[in-house]
């Protein structure tokens, strides 16, 4: 337990620095945008030069870049992300409202890709070089080549347009007064297609990693020893080969989280899921720079937290990870 705590503390300090770089870098990038929130606001509402002047002053946009960065960081310390022009609400509230949908999508898609991917990887890796191994390897490569958003559209054509089995988009049936389990089931049905589109792409990654790890493990002495002890093939595969190949997959889980979050931007757009990704697109369309900044920051924090959790899980699963080498 103390080992995990030391690891956690070390990682937390590093993460704060990284997040600081993210904030400053993103702030400066978005500052470079031609036009600011006032321009965007005036385009949609109309107003004269005096109005522009007044708004710039009220929103603090007439101050220097450095002052505004300092103000932003100070506000961040109080978990204040500023005010969204498009939504006329605090950005934090808008993001927190959308975040659960994205998390639900991400967690489900990760469970699908990790679970099915590693299971198929074990199936392929149990007999390296066999017909099923070759088939799964090539099949997974083909799957990896498929753009997620296109897979989403194809799934819509098949299951929502032609077969009419599943809804075409959204997170739940609008204006239905479902509650409790009914509502959960409704959301689950709406999530089937987006989760499949997002999860199947990354499935290939876990399958291939698992397979490669198992091919490696087959050559190890402890596997030879296990076979020499006369353990059943099933036992050798599951308890020795697959178990050792599983650890790198868990690290991948953390590394993939940023990718998954990026992928969900497009998938949310295809399926009209009101999540963080769709919000990012709305922010881009409305030139709502502070909102975009808030979304990028939230995503970065999410990625950092997921990686911390993965590190902790890893420290528990692999006794070889000592506190000494944990900071590497």
Partner 1 sequence: MNPLRRFLRTPEAVAGAILLAALIGMALIAPLLFPGDPQAIAGPALLPPFQDWSLPLGTDRLGRDVQAELFHGARTSLAVGLAAAAAALAIGSVVGTLAGFAGGLVDEVLMRVTDAFQTVPSFLLALAFVSVVGPSLGIVVAAIALGTWTGPARIARAEVLSIRERDYVASARAIGMHPLEIAFREVLPNALPPVLAMSSVIVAAAILTEAALSFLGLGDPNRVTWGGMIAEGRAVLRTAPFLSIVPGIALVLTVLGVYLAGEGIVETTAVRRGLS
Task: Give the interface with partner 1 as residue ranges (CB under 8 A).
Answer: 14, 17-19, 21-22, 25-26, 29-30, 32-34, 138, 141-142, 144-150, 153-154, 156-157, 161, 255, 258-259, 261-263, 265-266, 269, 280-281, 284, 287, 292, 295-296, 299-300, 303-304
Place of tokens 């990038």: 29
Q: How far apart are CA 309 and CA 306, in angstroms?
A: 5
Are 50 and 298 in contact by the 8 Å Cβ rule? The answer is no
Least separation in angstroms between CB 270 and partner 1 = 8
Could you tell me the smallest distance in angstroms from the CB atom of residue 319 to partner 1?
25
User: Shortest distance, CB of residue 272 to partner 1, whole angstroms?
Assistant: 12
Cβ distance to partner 1 smaller for residue 130 or 259: 259
CB of 144 to partner 1, least distance (A): 7
Q: For partner 1, which is the closer residue by CB, 214 or 280?
A: 280
Choice between 100 and 262, CB closer to partner 1 = 262
Q: Write down the least CB distance from residue 174 to partner 1, Å.
A: 20
> Between residues 11 and 56, which has the closer beta carbon with respect to partner 1?
11
Q: Looking at beta carbons only, is 120 or 156 nearer to partner 1?
A: 156
| Min separation Cβ 182 and partner 1, Å | 29
């Amino acid at each position: 337990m103390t080992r995990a705590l030391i690891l956690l503390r070390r990682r937390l300090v590093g993460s704060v620095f990284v997040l600081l770089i993210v904030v400053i870098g993103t702030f400066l990038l978005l500052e470079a945008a031609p036009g600011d929130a006032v321009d965007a606001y005036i385009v949609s509402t109309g107003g004269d030069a005096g109005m522009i002047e007044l708004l710039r002053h009220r929103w603090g946009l007439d101050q220097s870049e450095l002052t505004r960065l300092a103000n932003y960081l100070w506000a961040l310390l109080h978990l204040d992300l500023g005010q969204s022009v498009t939504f006329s609400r605090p950005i934090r509230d808008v993001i927190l409202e959308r975040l659960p949908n994205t998390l639900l999508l991400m967690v489900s898609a990760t469970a699908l890709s990790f679970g099915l991917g590693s299971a198929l990887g074990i199936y392929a890796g149990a007999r390296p070089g066999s017909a099923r191994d070759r088939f799964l390897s090539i099949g997974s490569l083909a799957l990896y080549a498929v753009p997620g958003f296109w897979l989403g559209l194809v799934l819509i054509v098949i299951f929502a347009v032609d077969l009419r089995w599943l809804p075409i988009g959204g997170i739940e049936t609008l204006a239905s007064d479902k509650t409790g389990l009914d509502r959960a089931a409704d959301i689950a049905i709406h999530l089937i297609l987006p989760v499949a589109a997002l999860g199947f792409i990354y499935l290939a990654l876990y399958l291939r990693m698992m397979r490669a790890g198992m091919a490696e493990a087959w050559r190890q002495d402890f596997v030879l020893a296990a076979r020499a002890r006369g353990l059943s093939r099933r036992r050798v595969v599951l308890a020795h080969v697959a178990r050792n190949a599983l650890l790198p997959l868990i690290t991948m889980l953390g590394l993939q989280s940023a990718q998954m979050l990026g992928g969900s931007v497009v998938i949310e757009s295809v399926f009209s899921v009101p999540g963080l990704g769709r919000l990012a697109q709305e922010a881009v369309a409305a030139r709502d720079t502070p909102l975009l900044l808030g979304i990028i920051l939230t995503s970065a924090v999410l990625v950092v937290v997921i990686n911390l959790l993965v590190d902790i899980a890893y420290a528990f699963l692999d006794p070889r990870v000592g506190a000494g080498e944990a900071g590497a």
